[in-house]
Structure 1
Amino acid sequence: MKISEFISESAIEMLRRKMKSLKEDMIFRGIPDENGIVTDIEIIVANEIDSIASVLKKMKKNEVIIRVYPRELVPSDTDVKIAQIYGEAGGAFYIINVDVSEINAVVSLKKFNKINIDEFFSEKGVIEKNISNFELRHEQYEMAKCIEKSMNENVKLIVEAGTGTGKTIAYLLPTLLYALENDLKVIVSTNTINLQEQLLNKDIPLIKKIVGADFNYQIVKGRGNYLCKRKLYNIDIFEIENEPEETKKEKKIIKNLIEWDKSIAKNGDRGELKYEISSKIWEKVNSEADMCKGSKCPYYSKCYFFAARKNISNATLLIVNHHMFFADLAIRNQSGFYTNYSILPNYDIVVFDEAHNIEDTARNYFTVETSKIAFGRLIGQIFNRKSTGVNNAGVLPKLSSYLNENLDASEYEKIDGLKEDVVSELNSFYDKGMEILTALTKFFLRGKEQSEVKAKIDRKSLISDKNFKKIIKMNVSFREKNGNLSLKINKFLNAVNKYKLEDNEGYIFEFARYSERLKQFFKKFEFIFEGEEEGYVYWTEITTKRSNIKLYATPFDISKELNENLISKLDRMIFTSATLAVDNKFDYYKRNIGLKNEKNKKIEEKIIKSPFNYEKQMKVFIPADALDPSNLEFMRDLHDFIVKSIKATKGHCFLLFTSYSTLNYLFNSLKNYFPKEDYTLIKQNDYPRHEMIRLFKTSKNPVLFGTDSFWEGVDVQGDQLKMVIITKLPFKVPSDPVTEAIIENIKKNGKNAFTEYQVPQAVIKFKQGIGRLIRSKTDTGSIIILDNRVIKKRYGQNFLKVLPKNIVIDNRKEIIKIMK
């Protein structure tokens, strides 16, 4: 092998220079050009060879691991393992000598075939010939062409595609063509179920016809959606006299699930059930990673979850939601990007649709969280001292019964004594935990009668408070009890494990796993309560209706985390949405998710305008005589104007709010003005979200009152939606602990948080809200913006720029006349 066929002369010289200063064994990261020749190098390991995971963690997709040996170029066992794992992911592994004159290409870099989509979009091309009534759009072709380039040149692309572009076909066609041509795997990650359903039921079947090739595609659901047979058949369903009615109902549901499993279930997916099942019961029978015995489970060969995972490993295209994608990334963050322990198989191309949601979703997955309800539930899963029935008594009584059946009397007596020690310590630990969580609840409520409270846990400012000092003392005792409990559990498990019982039902296994969850709970609680790690905001959320307190540690800047764990690992990534740019630039978006230009690799950017004629299809009204939204009389003053506006279009209206309190106030003050026989008023939280949308589409003169989730992802075409009223500009509440921390961090770095974060974030949300109105070329309607800051504040120009030019700014009376 000639080394020049694999590494350029300039890179060879770089390697030689590096090795003069570092003479020990070392590993380099080789960065190839588009022809597969290494043109740049970086040291990733020197002097000491790290673990396989450590080496792979430092590599990107489609690069080269270069190992230096002083003499024979023969791979070690570790080299072979690294080469195999990284090779399967599309990378290469070379061994060179110290002089950089010889090479052993253990795994060569894969050669990629380029694609061209022109034959599909041309007049009388593949699409026109095969799909009748398919509307060829210039904007769709333009977007697909950008994605073709990003695939062929192995670069990242951000593309804002206006409503009506047909972006799903625009990204599915080139990514799938490239994947099929080069035997790669594509992930499409979305934020909403609606878009997933559209992909599965409409767009992917259409793409199959267009490309004329059969390929496997799967929607990937979370593990918790699948039934676990072992857990199901471990539940006692025998009826006992004088059982509580609730227990009888639960046993009936479990019997139905057993019947479903035996005769009807295809995939064991909760979504297959023809009836609703409570989360409380489903959690007793669902598949969980840490409760899985894998190949040691007696039901392994018939396991629904592993059957589903086999299907996804064979698929070319996988559809996931953002939450699952980042749950998978959290695992890769721990075990390395190229791993066999993740939820998803290793992938080559990622398309983030609805990509404006990535930052918040990722932040949720890097957040440490625990709660009072979770603590109580976890203790109950181990041992519930209040329960009268076996089903709800926890795993410890089941384990005790199992041990009683499988050990002789004297052996069981010893074990039972150790079990009683565990029960005693567990109850003591639970009592202290509830005491400290209750004390924290009272402390942050501070005597206020509020249904919900959010507050920062700032140790520095609270340390002088005498009540908080008492809570700190409680935690010292809580920590001691946690240590005592761990000792008792370990002693009990060590004694049980000496007998080497078969444990086919998994009672010993489950008890050990729940005990591990308990350790993790305390670890999380300490992490949040102590609040010592930099880069996090520590905060609490209290809900008095559910008598719950949640504790959080949320990173306020996730750009570095995302860059290191995802963006730096992969180049064929598409970020798309109708709302990514602010002032026709992607600076805000790129900064927040850690997208940076790398050496010799620029991120491609494109804004594709909507094919809709907004000037003709949409009218925008802004009442100039509205009060400032900070005025307490703001909504009351606009009451009559809102009533007349809604009546002008006979309903068919979305009212979008930024808070539940304003929504509830306006709903209660308006409902008497719209008779039930003439109008259908639909308020968020009165129905599930999908039911609200269905009602709106099918009801007479509907008026929908919605907050955050209704600003996006809702598609109502035709005359059923004729007006969207935006009550306030969608600025995040600055007193929210996470928002407050983000603002503080931006200020700390010497920047203006309002212009750098608050305004751009609100503009993107605003664009989403405006986008609810016009969903097709024939739709028409009006937007009313009640917030006068768009015309009275300098930053209002940022919002006005995203609107069509035919804006009517006038007093309310004149606007109503025009609307009529």
Structure 2
Amino acid sequence: MKIFEFLEKKAVAKLKKEIKAASGNEVFFRGIPNEEGIVTDIEVIARGNEYSVAAVLNRMKKNEIIIHNHPSGLLVPSDNDVQISSVYGELGGGSYIVNNEVNDIYVLVSLKKHIKIDIDKYFGDLGIIRKKYPDFEIRDEQYKMSKDIEKSLNENKKALIEAGTGTGKTLAYLIPTLEYALENNLKAIISTNTINLQEQLINKDIPLVKELIGQDFKYTLVKGRGNYLCKRKLQNAIMEESDDSEDKEILLNLQKWNETTKYGDRNELRYGISFEIWEKVNCELDLCTNVKCPYFSSCYFFNARKEIGKSDLLVLNHHMFFADLSIRSEIGFNTDYSILPNYDILIFDEAHNIEDTARSYFTSEVSKYSFGKLMGNIYNKRVRNYNKSGIFVRALIYLKDNLSEEEYEIIDKVKEEEIIENLNKYYDKIIEIFDRFLLGFSKDSEQMEIKKRFDKDYIKSSSLWKEIMKLRKESVHLYSIMIKGLTKLTNEIDKFRLEDENGIIFDFKKYIERVKVFMKDLLYILDSDQEDHVYWTNINLRKGSIRIYATPFEVADDLEHNLFNKMDRILFTSATLAVEQKFDYYKKNIGLEKKGIIEEIIDSPFDYEKQMKVYIPDDTKDPNSLEFFSDVYDFIKKLVINTKGRCFLLFTSYSSLNFIYNKIRGELEKMGYTLLKQGELPRHEMIELFKIRDKAILFGTDSFWEGIDVQGDSLKSVVIVKLPFKSPEDPVTEAIIEYMRKNNQNPFMNYQIPQAVIKFKQGVGRLIRSKTDTGIVTILDNRVIKKAYGEKFLKSLPKTSIIRGNREYILKEEKRVKSEALSQKDSDVHKD
């Protein structure tokens, strides 16, 4: 074989150099091919012949080539060679063997040649879209975005695309993605942030593209394991309940549903069910006995996973994606043991959220509530009913029923009373730690919710922390005694090799494992010695709850190492990714700073000059002053009356939202307005009520700045009360600011402002959702015109009229514009 048919000269030279440096011993290389499949560059991934398949594969990206030398010069593949090339070949990669002189080559698996696509056939007046749907509006922006994605797929590159509202981005990425995936027999994933977008994709967009492409393919909405009923847990839960309990009746109703349901999905239930009941019967990863389960063949979860494996396209949320990635980061990217099947193309829609979602998955957390529930599931000293007193007691009952008297005597020697005493002592000590946190950090606070860091020097040197460290030491001692007794018991149980068909002993062991994980996390957080993490507590005095966390400052390195270095066909898209027409901030924060990424900002096709006006009063008080909300209250009231409600009021904190809501509520309700406050109803119910009620006003914070789509006359006004800066008192934000300062960075310019600009763009984007929508955005925060950095926010607005003036002028101007709009509407009606 001619080696230069497979390797460029410079790659050959590099191979020779590295093999020589290894004294001719075996070396494994990552071969990086060009578009024609010829290796242009190499990288050493392992040396020597002691290696594992997983170790080599974990260093490879998709669509590359594993190259290694045989020092003997005999290029016959070994069993290990065949195994590695077989596994990597299934993922689309190639595998070559060369001699030490790199003048001979053996191709175990050829690099798969991907068929390139051209999506032009779908667009234009004579395209497939227009032929099948003559009334379908094809937008230039949509075509441009689709071509960018076509290029990224054909050239195996990442793409970063900000697509303005109205671009039609879902269709723009679905057409090239599905065309490419089906042509090349690849699996694609779409990860979104909101349920609304998932439903739109599954119920509307994907079926439409299926018609356009004219090929049959399978697509599935992937749900978490906890959404499915576990038949084994249901049977055990029914047996545990006494016949006269209310829970027993609910569980028996679930049993009837179990006999008729096809999918066992909680969403199929026609009646509500509490989280506490569902948690007793849902699927859980560590409590799954897998093939040993008597219900395995009819398991709802595993049947759903079979369908996922057969699907060409999967739709899921960011949380599930990162749960899957966290497993891959532990055991290797290409694995059969993760939540999702291996995939080849990844689309992040609503991609501006992935940094926060990723951070939550790299955060360690423990809480008083979850600990209490865990220990209660093991042994609950407050319950007299044996069946409900915990898995420890149920395990002992099971053993007594399934062992002979002589055998049970061996178990009995482990001393049941002593284990219970040790469980209780350990429980009490950990609760004491949580209570010390709660009392110590809430002292002298008037707030019901408290968020505080405990990794500061003045806390670490305080008497409070000394008490917590003393309790920590005592808890470790009690934990060691408890675990020693439980381990001795399980070791004795294992000797009998019981069938355990209902999984009682299995569950008992798994709950012990959960205690071990809890203790490991608790000590990790209390020790708080990782410099790249912030350690903090969240206390809710109203509920008496407390959580403590260890949160990383940055996720860029983790994402780069665990995902971006593993594959290239990844699309990031959202209406808000850029700051000042650049992606620098976004790329840095998620670890995408390498070159070769296709970047595009596609403006919205909407005519914002005609559809939207932005008003900025210049006579409001400083938004940081104590008088700010009292100062703007009357103006807000007049604004919502001006538009007869039909308004979103967007706040940056619950306290400010509640202040305005409580002050304005009585007067406006008497005038027939409907006030909808975040937290009083589920989000989707609030939006539906807003759409159908007259004179509706929605009071929202944080999550209501994005992911809401209200078209038509129901929404005419968006009021941004303050610029959405994250509070510098938030523990994570505070720590990131300190961390950046230590590294000679400007946190305000390089972190706080870019974050606020992206959130601001989301808030403004709630108003105009279609080509016929019209309305006004009012920004009450005068920093946008009085501070130099305010220009960054103004530049992020779409091209439209920005009207500045005092509040009286703005109210008059709004009335005038409203009057002109009504006259135009009447004129249009008469013309028709």
Please indicate the TM-score interval, normalised by the length of the shorter structure: over 0.9
Distance 1:59 1:461, change over 3 A: farther
- On the 8 A contact 1:363/1:558 being kept in 2, the answer is yes
Three-state SS of the structure 1 residue aligned to 2:383 is: coil
Please name the residue that 1:687 is paired with: 681
Alpha-carbon shift at residue 251 of structure 1 (Å): 0.8
- On the 8 A contact 1:113/1:182 being kept in 2, the answer is yes
Alpha-carbon shift at residue 47 of structure 1 (Å): 3.5
Three-state SS of the structure 1 residue aligned to 2:137 is: coil
- On the 8 A contact 2:230/2:300 being kept in 1, the answer is yes
Alpha-carbon shift at residue 730 of structure 1 (Å): 0.1
Give TM-score scaled by structure 2 length: 0.96
Please name the residue that 2:490 is paired with: 493
- On the 8 A contact 1:563/1:595 being kept in 2, the answer is yes
Three-state SS of the structure 1 residue aligned to 2:352 is: helix
Question: Which amino acid in the other structure matches residue 179 of structure 1?
Answer: A
Please name the residue that 1:86 is paired with: 88
The question of 1:157 aligning with 2:151 is answered no
The question of 1:675 aligning with 2:672 is answered no
For the residues of structure 1 that align with 2:714 and 2:791, how far apart are their CA atoms?
31
Please name the residue that 1:442 is paired with: 439
For the residues of structure 2 that align with 1:531 and 1:753, how far apart are their CA atoms?
23
For the residues of structure 2 that align with 1:686 and 1:307, how far apart are their CA atoms?
37
Alpha-carbon shift at residue 677 of structure 1 (Å): 6.5
Q: What per-residue deviation string (whole Å, max 9, x for no partner) do you get for residues 779-816 of structure 1? A: 00011100000000000000111223411111111111
The question of 1:41 aligning with 2:42 is answered yes
Please name the residue that 2:391 is paired with: 395
The question of 1:763 aligning with 2:764 is answered no
Please name the residue that 2:641 is paired with: 647
Counterpart selection for 1:664 from 654, 658, 661:
658
Please name the residue that 2:547 is paired with: 550
Please name the residue that 1:752 is paired with: 746
Alpha-carbon shift at residue 748 of structure 1 (Å): 1.8
Please name the residue that 2:827 is paired with: none
Counterpart selection for 1:251 from 243, 248, 253:
248
Alpha-carbon shift at residue 65 of structure 1 (Å): 1.1
Give TM-score scaled by structure 1 length: 0.97
Alpha-carbon shift at residue 459 of structure 1 (Å): 5.9
Please name the residue that 1:337 is paired with: 333
Counterpart selection for 1:617 from 611, 617, 633:
611
Question: Which amino acid in the other structure matches residue 490 of structure 2?
Answer: L
Question: Which amino acid in the other structure matches residue 752 of structure 1?
Answer: N
Three-state SS of the structure 2 residue aligned to 1:235 is: helix
Counterpart selection for 1:282 from 278, 281, 304:
278
Question: Which amino acid in the other structure matches residue 809 of structure 2?
Answer: E
Alpha-carbon shift at residue 390 of structure 1 (Å): 4.3
For the residues of structure 1 that align with 2:304 and 2:171, how far apart are their CA atoms?
26
Please name the residue that 1:810 is paired with: 805
Alpha-carbon shift at residue 412 of structure 1 (Å): 1.6
Unmatched segments (≥5 aa) in structure 1: none
For the residues of structure 1 that align with 2:226 and 2:114, how far apart are their CA atoms?
37
The question of 1:51 aligning with 2:52 is answered yes
Three-state SS of the structure 2 residue aligned to 1:289 is: coil
The question of 1:8 aligning with 2:8 is answered yes
Distance 1:209 1:436, change over 3 A: same
- On the 8 A contact 2:705/2:759 being kept in 1, the answer is yes
Alpha-carbon shift at residue 323 of structure 1 (Å): 0.5
Which 10-residue stretch deviates more, 350-359 or 52-61?
52-61
Alpha-carbon shift at residue 372 of structure 1 (Å): 0.6
The question of 1:782 aligning with 2:776 is answered yes
Unmatched segments (≥5 aa) in structure 2: 816-832
For the residues of structure 2 that align with 1:207 and 1:587, how far apart are their CA atoms?
33
Matches within 5 A, 1:378-527: 378-418=374-414, 419-458=416-455, 460-527=457-524
Which 10-residue stretch deviates more, 327-336 or 441-450?
441-450
Alpha-carbon shift at residue 237 of structure 1 (Å): 4.5
Matches within 5 A, 1:794-809: 794-803=788-797, 804-809=799-804
Alpha-carbon shift at residue 97 of structure 1 (Å): 1.8
Question: Which amino acid in the other structure matches residue 298 of structure 1?
Answer: P
For the residues of structure 1 that align with 2:303 and 2:658, how far apart are their CA atoms?
46
For the residues of structure 1 that align with 2:473 and 2:91, how far apart are their CA atoms?
48
For the residues of structure 2 that align with 1:217 and 1:157, how far apart are their CA atoms?
23
For the residues of structure 2 that align with 1:297 and 1:521, how far apart are their CA atoms?
26
For the residues of structure 2 that align with 1:425 and 1:101, how far apart are their CA atoms?
69
Alpha-carbon shift at residue 281 of structure 1 (Å): 1.1
- On the 8 A contact 2:227/2:265 being kept in 1, the answer is yes
Alpha-carbon shift at residue 568 of structure 1 (Å): 1.2
- On the 8 A contact 1:237/1:255 being kept in 2, the answer is no
Q: What per-residue deviation string (whole Å, max 9, x for no partner) do you get for residues 185-243 of structure 1? A: 110010000000110111001001110111000011111111111111112358747x5
Q: What per-residue deviation string (whole Å, max 9, x for no partner) do you get for residues 648-689 of structure 1? A: 110000000000000001000001221356211000001000
Three-state SS of the structure 1 residue aligned to 2:531 is: coil
Which 10-residue stretch deviates more, 791-800 or 290-299?
290-299
Question: Which amino acid in the other structure matches residue 12 of structure 1?
Answer: V
For the residues of structure 1 that align with 2:741 and 2:300, how far apart are their CA atoms?
50
- On the 8 A contact 1:459/1:531 being kept in 2, the answer is no
Question: Which amino acid in the other structure matches residue 414 of structure 1?
Answer: I
- On the 8 A contact 2:15/2:102 being kept in 1, the answer is yes
Which 10-residue stretch deviates more, 70-79 or 602-611?
70-79
Question: Which amino acid in the other structure matches residue 302 of structure 1?
Answer: S
- On the 8 A contact 2:669/2:675 being kept in 1, the answer is no
- On the 8 A contact 1:429/1:478 being kept in 2, the answer is yes
Instruction: Count residues with an aligned counterpart.
Output: 811
Distance 1:459 1:806, change over 3 A: closer
Three-state SS of the structure 2 residue aligned to 1:104 is: strand
Question: Which amino acid in the other structure matches residue 182 of structure 1?
Answer: N
Alpha-carbon shift at residue 504 of structure 1 (Å): 0.8
Question: Which amino acid in the other structure matches residue 201 of structure 2?
Answer: L
Please name the residue that 1:628 is paired with: 622
Which 10-residue stretch deviates more, 415-424 or 446-455?
415-424
Please name the residue that 2:822 is paired with: none
- On the 8 A contact 1:131/1:210 being kept in 2, the answer is no
For the residues of structure 1 that align with 2:185 and 2:35, how far apart are their CA atoms?
18
Three-state SS of the structure 2 residue aligned to 1:100 is: coil
The question of 1:703 aligning with 2:697 is answered yes
Please name the residue that 2:18 is paired with: 18
Q: Percent identity?
A: 55
Alpha-carbon shift at residue 51 of structure 1 (Å): 2.8
- On the 8 A contact 2:37/2:113 being kept in 1, the answer is yes
For the residues of structure 2 that align with 1:609 and 1:70, how far apart are their CA atoms?
57
Three-state SS of the structure 2 residue aligned to 1:111 is: coil
Question: Which amino acid in the other structure matches residue 416 of structure 1?
Answer: D
Alpha-carbon shift at residue 497 of structure 1 (Å): 0.6
Please name the residue that 1:737 is paired with: 731
Matches within 5 A, 1:307-322: 307-322=303-318
For the residues of structure 2 that align with 1:743 and 1:732, how far apart are their CA atoms?
11
Which 10-residue stretch deviates more, 465-474 or 28-37?
465-474
Counterpart selection for 1:359 from 335, 355, 376:
355
Alpha-carbon shift at residue 287 of structure 1 (Å): 0.8
Matches within 5 A, 1:21-420: 21-23=21-23, 24-47=25-48, 49-71=50-72, 72-237=74-239, 240=242, 248-263=245-260, 265-418=261-414, 419-420=416-417
For the residues of structure 2 that align with 1:461 and 1:63, how far apart are their CA atoms?
52
For the residues of structure 1 that align with 2:53 and 2:600, how far apart are their CA atoms?
38
For the residues of structure 2 that align with 1:271 and 1:417, how far apart are their CA atoms?
47
For the residues of structure 2 that align with 1:175 and 1:354, how far apart are their CA atoms?
17
Alpha-carbon shift at residue 76 of structure 1 (Å): 3.4
For the residues of structure 1 that align with 2:94 and 2:312, how far apart are their CA atoms?
22
Alpha-carbon shift at residue 640 of structure 1 (Å): 1.4
Question: Which amino acid in the other structure matches residue 67 of structure 1?
Answer: H
For the residues of structure 1 that align with 2:82 and 2:777, how far apart are their CA atoms?
63
Q: What per-residue deviation string (whole Å, max 9, x for no partner) do you get for residues 738-768 of structure 1? A: 1111112221221111110100100000000
Three-state SS of the structure 1 residue aligned to 2:712 is: coil
- On the 8 A contact 1:164/1:611 being kept in 2, the answer is yes
Three-state SS of the structure 1 residue aligned to 2:718 is: strand
Question: Which amino acid in the other structure matches residue 768 of structure 2?
Answer: I
